[in-house]
Amino acid sequence: MEKIKDFIRDKVQVRYEVIRQREIEGKRVKDICKEWKISKTSFYLWQERFRKGGVEELKDKKRGPKSPSKRTKETESRIISKKFAFPEKNIFEISDELKEEGIDVSPRTVARTLSSHLLSKKKLKIM
């Protein structure tokens, strides 16, 4: 068994071997996890992914956002220009004004945009 572990370097191969030991050899999950130094959570995650889509599903999944940000440069520039024109306005007021202009942005989007351009109150206090 040690020779197999030394030979297997690819994550997909390791995951497949772990699943194979359970499905074909009938080993206990507890023993497999101890032998391969993995958690039961990982084992069951891999097993579920394997059952859904085979070996292809054992590949690492992309982390982070699955789709790009919906904020366009035009939307960002409108938010920033509103803040400079009316510095006393809060994120809710800016969001409402932009909605009236046909730009549908949430207050949280306004806050993120201002923060990323160092225009939020927290960022201004630090500087």
pLDDT in tens, 61-91: 888 877 777 789 999 999 999 999 999 999 9
The stretch 105-111 carries a mean pLDDT of 94
Q: Is the pLDDT of residue 125 over 90?
A: no
pLDDT, residue 126, reads 44
Domain boundaries, the chain: 2-58, 73-119
The stretch 41-63 carries a mean pLDDT of 93
Q: How far apart are CA 127 and CA 123, in angstroms?
A: 7
Give residues with Cβ within 8 angstroms of 5, minimum separation 6: 36
pLDDT, residue 127, reads 45
Band (pLDDT 50/70/90 cuts) for residue 121 is low
Residue written as tokens 């400079």? Answer: 84
